[in-house]
Structure 1
Amino acid sequence: MGLSNHHIVTRFFMNGFPILKQDPKLHIKKLQFDGVPVKQYQPREDHTKHQRGILFFHGGIGMCCSTDTYERVCRYLARESTSFVVSVAYRLAPEHPYPAQFEDCLKATIHLLKNAKEYGVDPDCILVGGDSSGATLAAAVCQELVKRTDLPKVRAQILLHPFLQAVDFNLPSYQQNAFVPVLSKRTLLELGLKYLGKDSSFVQAAMKGSHVPEDMKIKWKSWINPDHIPKRFKSRGYKPPPPTPFSPKVLEQCKECFETTFSPLLAEDDIISQLPETYILTCEYDVLRDDGLLYKKRLEDAGVGVTWEHLEDAFHAIAFVLDMPVFPFSCAKRKMDRIVKFITGLHV
Structure 2
Amino acid sequence: MELLLVIFLTVLTVFVAVAFSYERPKAEIPHGFSQRQKLYAFNYVLNFTFSLAKILEKVGITSEAYFLRTVMDVIPLLKDKHFFIKDLRFEKVKVRIYQPKISTTGQRRGILYFHGGAGQFGSIRSYERTCCYFGRKSDSVVVSVGYRLAPEHPYPAQFEDCLTATIHFMRTAQDYGVDPSRIIVCGDSSGGALTAAVAQALVNRRDLPKLRAQVLIYPFLQAVDFNLPSYQQNEQMLFLPKERALALGLKYLNKDLSVIKVVDKVSHIPEDLQLKYQKWVSPDHIPPEFKTRGYKPSTTRTFSKELYTLFKPVLDPVFSPLLAEDSVIAQLPEAFILTCEFDVLRDDGLLYKKRLEDNGIKVTWCHLQEGFHGTIFLTVWSVMTEFLSGHKGLEMIANFLRLT
TM class, shorter-length: over 0.9
Q: Which amino acid aligns with 2:292?
A: S
The match for 1:54 is 111
CA distance in 1, matches of 2:196, 2:274: 22
1:103 to 160, 179, 200: 160
CA distance in 1, matches of 2:229, 2:188: 21
Q: Which amino acid aligns with 1:196?
A: L
For residue 328 of structure 1, report the CA deviation from its aligned partner: 3.2
The match for 1:117 is 174
2:194 counterpart of 1:137: yes
2:125 counterpart of 1:68: yes
- RMSD, aligned α-carbons: 1.2
2:261 counterpart of 1:193: no
1:265 to 285, 302, 322: 322
2:69 counterpart of 1:14: no
Q: Which amino acid aligns with 2:354?
A: K
Indicate the percent of aligned positions where both proteins have the same amino acid: 53
Q: Which amino acid aligns with 2:62?
A: S
2:261 counterpart of 1:204: yes
2:341 to 267, 281, 284: 284
Structure 2 counterparts to residues 1-348 of structure 1, below 5 A = 1=55, 2=59, 3-19=61-77, 21-208=78-265, 210-323=267-380, 324-346=382-404
Larger deviation: 64-73 or 291-300? Answer: 64-73
CA distance in 1, matches of 2:263, 2:318: 19
TM-score by length of 2: 0.83
SS in 1 for 2:383: coil
User: Does the CA contact (< 8 Å) of 1:169 and 1:208 recur in 2?
Assistant: no
Q: Which amino acid aligns with 1:4?
A: T
CA distance in 2, matches of 1:204, 1:143: 33
For residue 18 of structure 1, report the CA deviation from its aligned partner: 4.1
Q: Which amino acid aligns with 1:244?
A: R
TM-score by length of 1: 0.97
SS in 1 for 2:262: helix
User: Does the CA contact (< 8 Å) of 2:265 and 2:302 recur in 1?
Assistant: no
The structure carrying a bigger helix percent of its residues is 2
CA distance in 1, matches of 2:258, 2:204: 37
Note the residue ranges of structure 1 that are not aligned, 5 or more in a row: none
**Alignment deviations for residues 228-283 of structure 1 (CA, whole Å, 9 cap, x no partner):** 11111111100001111000011111110101110000000100000000000000
CA distance in 2, matches of 1:262, 1:345: 30
Q: Which amino acid aligns with 1:336?
A: L
CA distance in 2, matches of 1:111, 1:265: 26
For residue 203 of structure 1, report the CA deviation from its aligned partner: 1.6
SS in 2 for 1:164: coil
User: Does the CA contact (< 8 Å) of 1:199 and 1:253 recur in 2?
Assistant: no
The match for 2:20 is none
Larger relative contact order, structure 1 or 2 (CA cutoff 8 Å, min sep 6): 1
Larger Rg: 2
Q: Which amino acid aligns with 2:320?
A: S
For residue 9 of structure 1, report the CA deviation from its aligned partner: 2.3
**Alignment deviations for residues 101-123 of structure 1 (CA, whole Å, 9 cap, x no partner):** 00000000000101111111000
For residue 200 of structure 1, report the CA deviation from its aligned partner: 1.2
CA distance in 2, matches of 1:209, 1:123: 47
